[in-house]
Amino acid sequence: MERYDVVVVGVGGMGSAALYHLARRGKRVLGVERFDIPNDMGSSHGITRIIRLAYFEHSDYVPLLRRAYELWRELEREAGEQLLHITGIVEAGERIYEGALRSCSDHGLAHETIDGREIGRRFPGYQLPADLPVIFQRDGGFVLPERCIVAHVNGAIARGAVVRARERVLEWNEIENGVRVRTERGVVETERLVLTAGAWSQDVAKLPAGLVRGVRQALAWFQPKQPELFAPERLPVFNLALDGEHFYGFPAFGIPGFKLGRYDHFGDGGDPDSISREPSMADEVPLRTFAERYFPEGAGPTIALKTCVFEPSPDEHFLIDRHPDAASAIVGAGFSGHGFKFCSVVGEILADLVVDGRTSYAIDLFRFDRFGP
Ligand SMILES: Cc1cc2nc3c(=O)[nH]c(=O)nc-3n(C[C@H](O)[C@H](O)[C@H](O)COP(=O)(O)OP(=O)(O)OC[C@H]3O[C@@H](n4cnc5c(N)ncnc54)[C@H](O)[C@@H]3O)c2cc1C
């Protein structure tokens, strides 16, 4: 029987980072992935993901973000390629503006409070309402999810990790001296298990009912009418809650399209295997309407449409903890549509929990027992 120190189930954003940090600490580690590495079936594809220091969702994320930035830069040096691009971030809309401002004042983060007119003057791709209060943070930008996964996996393999894709984990059970894991290709044993199965976590990690759902999201890339206004040097990433909806977006990068998405927290969902992955005209309409209203020079012909899956927990905060029913298993799940920027630091935290049984990071916000015993 093959035996490992740690088996990581799911080699997406979080699993690849966990593998990397465990391998760095000398653990004999196996990563098992159901689809390809990287793949476009989970939550970690689509070329770009926003990263930002001010965190409107909760101020407790800020110390983790500081470390995440450091670790992305470290990984870049090791991989020899740029993974993190700084553009600045524009944020507006009541909850976002107030939350980001609170986070800046709690943690002394540099920021500017300006208005839509000033944003349009500095970044002419934007045409926001002139008197809209806006918070601008220079540290915002984007990371490249597929390249980050590849860099983490390469770093893990270089340190001896075994990584196997196109192999679905079917079952795992605690045994006397660890965990037995049954996959489509055989059985392995391990001292510890790390469960990072993204939108599939509810079943794969055998979680108490109702903790993680898969929710379908749509993304569009539109060809800018004036491409120079939508280059990374001219267009900061954004989070905008306007007209009762929350949209986010990116400069053109990787493909010739200005990218935007709409946070659809309550969209079609449940079992990720039953979610339609094919984008449709109906997916495009709200994205195009938004682009035409607030980024008119960006709303040219469609370049690409894609779907992706969010993995919300009930309160949209992460789940990072020892498994509630299995002492040998650690769970990293429920990243709720805002986790990618944290992968680097979550990998480190998961490795802490496996190797030391605890972490120096403040992660009480992510414990299972917040939902009851
Ligand atoms: C449209 C969209 C936009 C987003 N925008 C942002 C953003 O701008 N900034 C940000 O920080 N975050 C963003 N997020 C959220 C972020 O991308 C996710 O929180 C993060 O990618 C989750 O990583 P994960 O490792 O948990 O999931 P994944 O990367 O999906 O990894 C889980 C892996 O587990 C595998 N798996 C599942 N079941 C099994 C099994 N039985 N056996 C083996 N393997 C299995 C899956 O195939 C998958 O590869 C966005 C997400 C989406 C969908």
The ligand 1 atom at the shortest distance from the C-alpha of residue 219 is 1
- 331 in Cβ contact with 205 (< 8 Å): yes
Query: Residue with the nearest Cα to atom 26 of ligand 1?
Result: 198
Separation of CA 102 and ligand 1 centre (Å): 28
Distance 111 CA to ligand 1 centre (A): 30
- Domain residue limits, the chain: 2-44+146-211+315-371, 49-143+214-310
Distance (angstroms) between ligand 1 centre and the Cα of 304 equals 20
Q: Read off the pLDDT of residues 120-164 as tens digits, 9 standing for 90 and up.
A: 999 999 999 999 999 999 999 999 999 999 999 999 999 999 999
Q: What is the mean pLDDT of residues 205-232?
A: 96
Measure 108 CA to ligand 1 centroid, in angstroms.
31
**Distance from C-alpha of 66 to C-alpha of 75, rounded to nearest angstrom:** 15
Q: What is the structure's pLDDT at 265?
A: 67
The label of the residue with tokens 């449940």 reads 270
For ligand 1, the distance from its centroid to the CA atom of residue 13, given in whole angstroms, is 6
Which of the four pLDDT bands, split at 50, 70 and 90, describes residue 268? low
Token representation of residue 35: 């689809």
Compute the distance between CA of residue 299 and CA of residue 122 in angstroms, rounded to an integer: 19
For the whole model, what pTM was predicted? Answer: 0.98
Of residues 41 and 372, more confidence is placed in 41
Residue 321 token pair: 């903890």
**Best of 14, 44, 308 for a ligand 1 pocket test (most atoms within 8 Å of beta carbon):** 44
Contact 196, 12 (CB under 8 A): yes
* 98-110: average pLDDT: 96
Exposed, middle or buried by CB within 10 Å (0-12, 13-18, 19+), for 76? Answer: middle
Calculate mean pLDDT across residues 332-356.
98
CATH number for domain 49-143+214-310, candidates 1.20.120.520, 2.60.40.1180, 3.30.9.10, 3.30.750.24: 3.30.9.10
Q: What pLDDT is stored for residue 223 in this prediction? A: 98
pLDDT value of residue 269: 74
Ligand 1 probe mutation, 7, 32, 35, 43, most atoms within 8 A of CB: 43
2-44+146-211+315-371 CATH: 3.50.50.60
Supply 129's token pair. 């309402």
Do 329 and 323 meet the contact criterion of CB atoms below 8 Å apart?
yes
- Residues contacting 13, CB < 8 A, separation 6+: 43, 44, 145, 148, 149, 198, 335, 339, 340, 343
- Ligand 1 site-directed mutation target among 32, 49, 342, most atoms within 8 Å of CB: 49
Residue whose structure tokens are 């391990």: 190
- Distance (Å, whole) CA 75 – CA 238: 25
Residue 108, token pair as written in the block: 């002394």
| φ, ψ of residue 216 in degrees (nearest 5) | -65, 135
What pLDDT is stored for residue 266 in this prediction?
A: 64
pLDDT tens string 174-199? 999 999 999 999 999 999 999 999 99
Q: How confident is the model at residue 94 (pLDDT cuts 50, 70, 90)?
A: confident
Give the pairing of strands 258-262 and 84-86. Answer: unpaired
pLDDT given for residue 270 in this prediction: 81
Residue 264 has pLDDT above 90, yes or no: no
Give the distance (Å) from ligand 1 centre to CA of residue 57: 19
Task: Assign 86 to helix, strand or coil.
Answer: strand
Ligand 1: centre distance to CA 342 (Å): 12
* Dihedral (Cα; 331, 337, 338, 340), 10-degree rounding: 70
Give just the sign of the alpha carbon dihedral 310, 315, 321, 322.
negative
d(CA 14, CA 333): 8
Statement: residue 170 has pLDDT above 90: yes
Residue by residue, what is the 3-state secondary structure of 284-352?
Answer: HHHHHHHHHHHCHHHCCCEEEEEEEEECCCCCCCCEEEEECCEEEEEEEECCCCCCHHHHHHHHHHHHH
CA of 75 to the centre of ligand 1 (A): 19
The chain-wide mean pLDDT, for the chain, equals 97
Give the residue carrying structure tokens 């938004």.
Answer: 290
Residue 310 has pLDDT above 90, yes or no: yes
Q: Phi, psi (5° rounding) for residue 163?
A: -130, 125
Task: Give the residues surrounding ligand 1 with Cβ less than 6 Å away.
Answer: 9-10, 12-15, 32-35, 39, 41-44, 49-50, 168-169, 196-198, 200, 204, 217, 219, 261, 308-311, 335, 337-341
